[in-house]
Structures are given as structure tokens and as C-alpha cells.
Amino acid sequence: MRLVVFRDAAELAEAAAALVRERIAAKPDLAMAVPAGRTPRRMYNHLRDWQAREPADYSRMRVFSVDELAPPAPADGYFWRQVRSEFLAWAGVPAERWHPFDVGARDLEAMCREYEATIKRAGGLDLVMLGLGPNSHIASNEPGSELDSPTRPVRLTPQTVSYILTDEVLQGAVSDRAVTLGIGTILAAREAVVLVSGRAKRPPLERLLEGGVDPMVPATALRLHPRCTVFADQEAHP
């Protein structure tokens, strides 16, 4: 695992945007699981502004979800709505290359199994970009998640639900159920990048960097990944 520390959140977001553009230039049909949240929002803003100055070709990219809330979230997903409005709305990725979670499905477990199959048919994920939860969860893999866990429905902790509700962009009720890429799915990706910003993320980042691999600290599973980079700003860095 490699740690890169940036001066502030703006510098981190710019570096994350540069990494995405580099990966697209190197592999135009990049299969990427894209995150939602506050830190990714800054990255998407940089990518949009950069696109206006110096267009990149995103048209062959395959876009997957990292996680999504279950109903009463809307059928198109709270997190996916952010990805659509802040990235897909301007990137020019054809809709047939979008792979959101179908949280309106009658059987979420079957939907998640099919999602894993879709990833396999795509040749696997080239890049998974993640945030870091307050309790050191990654995607929606809460403490206690097995290290080889697949994409699946999960139950969120009250702490995670409370944290989600602090994002002022979200409107409406938030479920304590979600679907998520599993830790095993994330570890199988060819590259993982974690974006960590703000003083509140200092304790979970410290647990990630200093602890051994522990299912009760899900992010520590990334220590097993052969190509994982953590982008942190100085406020988050222990």
C-alpha cells in the first residue's frame, strides 16, 4: 500500500482527477467502479472543468457502482444519482456502458450475484475508487465483513447511516440496508485508490495505516491488495 499526502482537499481532488484521466488515456475501455460522496464530488468537478479545457474520450469506459442504498432510496439510487449528475452527465459514456445497482429488484441477493457475473464478463475491474468510512469501512463493507466477501446486500450500522445523512445533497429517508461490492471483489480489482479527506477521517485512516489486517477494521484488507494507493490530505493524515 502506498500513501500520498496532499496539502488540502483541493489538491487531493486534482490529483485524483489526474489519475482517472491517466488511466483512461492508457486504457480507453477502462472498467472502473466509481464512488459517491463529498470527496469524490470535488474530483468530479475537476474532471468536468478539465474536460471543458482539454477533452478526453470517455466513450469506451465501463462504469460500475461501488455501493448503493436500498429502498426507500429511489429506484435509480441516491449514490448513482450523484454519479450521473456529476460525472456521466458530461463525460459522454454511452448508457449501455453504465452498470448501476438495481436496488428496485425484487431479489437483491440474486441481483448482486448477477452484478458479480457482469463484472466477470467485463474482464474484471481495472480500477476501484473508494472513500473511507468513519468506522474504517470501505464501500459498504461494515466491521466484521469477511475478507473474501462478494457483492451482496448488507446492513449498515447506525453510525454509517448518521454519517450519510450529514451530506446535504441527500434528500429523503435513508435505509440501513445497502448493496455493495464485497471486499473480495475489491481485492480482485487490478487497482484500488482510496480518497481520504478531513480531520474526521484521521482516526479511521490511522487504523488503516497502523493496524494489522482485521475484519473488524475492513479497510485494512487493502493491505493485501498488490496495487493500492491512499490519497489523503494533511487534515486526515495522522
Could you identify the residue written with the cell 446535504?
Answer: 168
Per-residue pLDDT tens listing for the chain (238 residues): 999 999 999 999 999 999 999 999 999 999 999 999 888 999 999 999 999 999 999 999 999 999 999 988 777 788 999 999 999 999 999 999 999 999 999 999 999 999 999 999 999 999 999 999 999 999 999 999 999 999 999 999 988 888 887 776 665 678 899 999 999 999 999 999 999 999 999 999 999 998 789 999 999 999 999 999 999 999 999 8
Is 135 labeled as catalytic in the residue annotation? yes
Please tell me which residue in 14, 67, 126, 233 is annotated as part of the active site.
Answer: 67
**pTM for the model:** 0.94
> What are the cell numbers at 182?
464485497
The CATH number of domain 2-233 is 3.40.50.720: no
Is 142 labeled as catalytic in the residue annotation? yes
DSSP secondary structure of 187-236 = HHSS-EEEEE-SGGGHHHHHHHHHS--BTTBGGGGGGG-TTEEEEEETTT
Q: pLDDT (tens digit, 9 = 90+) per residue, 91-149?
A: 999 999 999 999 999 999 999 999 999 999 999 999 999 999 999 999 999 999 999 99
Is 46 labeled as catalytic in the residue annotation? no
